[in-house]
Amino acid sequence: MFDVGFAELFLLSIIGLLVLGPERLPAVARTVGGFVRKARASWYTLKTSVEAELAEADVREPLKTAREELDAVSRQVTDLGREASAGMDPTPRKADKPSPPPGD
pLDDT of residue 70: 92
* Residues sharing a CB contact under 8 Å with residue 42, sequence separation 6 or more, in sequence order: none
- The span from the CA of 17 to the CA of 11, in Å, is 10
Written as tens digits, the pLDDT of the chain (104 aa) is 567 788 988 898 888 888 888 888 888 889 989 999 999 999 999 999 999 988 888 888 888 888 999 999 999 999 988 888 887 756 555 555 566 667 65
Amino acid 83: pLDDT: 85
Q: What is the pLDDT of residues 51-80, one digit of tens each?
A: 998 888 888 888 888 899 999 999 999 998
Structure confidence at residue 86 (pLDDT)? 80
The predicted model scores a pTM of: 0.46
CA distance 52 to 78: 39
